Amino acid sequence: MPTSLKDTTTLHNGVKMPWLGLGVYKVQEGEEVIQAVKAAIKNGYIGIDTAALYQNEAGVGQAIREAGVPREELFITTKVWNNDQGYDSTLKAFETSLGKLQLDYLDLYLIHWPGPDKNKYRETWKALEKLYKDGRVHAIGVSNFQVHHLEDLIAHTEIKPMVNQVELHPSFNQAALREFCKKEGIQIEAWAPLKQGQLFNDPSLIEIGQKYNKSVAQVILRWDLQNEVVTIPKSIKEQRIVANADIFDFELSAEDMERINSLNKDERVGPDPDTFTRDF
Ligand SMILES: NC(=O)c1ccc[n+]([C@@H]2O[C@H](COP(=O)([O-])OP(=O)(O)OC[C@H]3O[C@@H](n4cnc5c(N)ncnc54)[C@H](OP(=O)(O)O)[C@@H]3O)[C@@H](O)[C@H]2O)c1
């Protein structure tokens, strides 16, 4: 079990990825993202999750340079957006992202959504394989891939994704996908771990929190860790960034883990990957 923000899971290619990182979706480019990322790194975070879509890669890069922590101690993820899918366009999108971040390598590059066209994400994946083989990125993965997308990708390409980043929280706990990924050695990463703020009034989570003297957010993030799920809560407030990482000093009992597991309603806050066709 991880005992600090520096603790990592080892991906199937041997690369080490932090269990807890900062997400920066909907964090404004410029001062807002710079301050959030610097606050996170100052308080011990090593993982940052951005995407071309978020339009804040330049600020993330600036914060990394100003944070005063050696680049190699950090784990930086970004993602290729849907309208850049395809072999050549993905290679180009990668250079654009890296240029904005002003980094010379990435730790993890993800396909943001599978989209409706299997051939397209397979071509996109081939570009990620090239970037990986060329040493431009230390690990490659996907996001929002369902079991059938993963089966297809594994059957038609060379390298198995190291990570699948998906919507995952107590209302949508992805039990079947987690089991599949565990069997395949693919690390699951939770986006919207806090259901974008929609779980804070849940009576069961409040009650469990009271028992351990922890907030609902801390209970959920701890549940992620105990389920071997990498998690990337977003906040722009330093106090919350710090609190969200204060989850290494308690352990949820098997009974409480089960109680949180049983809150599943298969209820998403984001789109269904099988029908999401924006910008393809
Ligand atoms: N791959 C994908 O398709 C995808 C999709 C969505 C998100 N993501 C990634 O996953 C990350 C996390 O998901 P998310 O940003 O959608 O949602 P989230 O992390 O579940 O929730 C963020 C919301 O919770 C609030 N919050 C955070 N910590 C809190 C705390 N301790 N107490 C009370 N409120 C708190 C934040 O507000 P404040 O900022 O005001 O604190 C914000 O409104 C994203 O930032 C992004 O990096 C990926």
Query: What share of the chain in percent tops pLDDT 70?
Result: 100
Q: How far is the CA of 49 from the centre of ligand 1 (A)?
A: 11
Helices (H), the chain: 31-42, 57-67, 87-101, 118-133, 147-156, 175-184, 203-212, 216-226, 238-244, 254-261
- Residue count of the chain: 280
Q: How far is the CA of 27 from the centre of ligand 1 (A)?
A: 10
Under DSSP, the state recorded for 85 is -
Catalytic residue numbers?
Answer: 54
For 146-174, the pLDDT digits (tens) are 999 999 999 999 999 999 999 999 999 99
pTM value is 0.99
For 109-129, the pLDDT digits (tens) are 999 999 999 999 999 999 999
Query: What share of the chain in percent tops pLDDT 90?
Result: 100
Distance (Å) of CA 17 to CA 20, 48, 130 = 9, 11, 21
State whether the beta carbon of 209 lies less than 6 angstroms from ligand 1: no
Q: Measured from the CA of 190, which atom of ligand 1 is nearest?
A: 10
State whether the beta carbon of 144 lies less than 6 angstroms from ligand 1: yes
Region 210-239 average pLDDT: 98
State whether the beta carbon of 114 lies less than 6 angstroms from ligand 1: no
Q: How confident is the model at residue 1 (pLDDT cuts 50, 70, 90)?
A: confident
Q: How far is the CA of 82 from the centre of ligand 1 (A)?
A: 21
HSE (side-chain half, CA atoms, 13 Å) at 198:
13
Q: Measured from the CA of 200, which atom of ligand 1 is nearest?
A: 33
State whether the beta carbon of 269 lies less than 6 angstroms from ligand 1: no
State whether the beta carbon of 192 lies less than 6 angstroms from ligand 1: yes
In this structure, the residue with its CA closest to atom 24 of ligand 1 is 197
State whether the beta carbon of 271 lies less than 6 angstroms from ligand 1: no
Q: How far is the CA of 236 from the centre of ligand 1 (A)?
A: 9
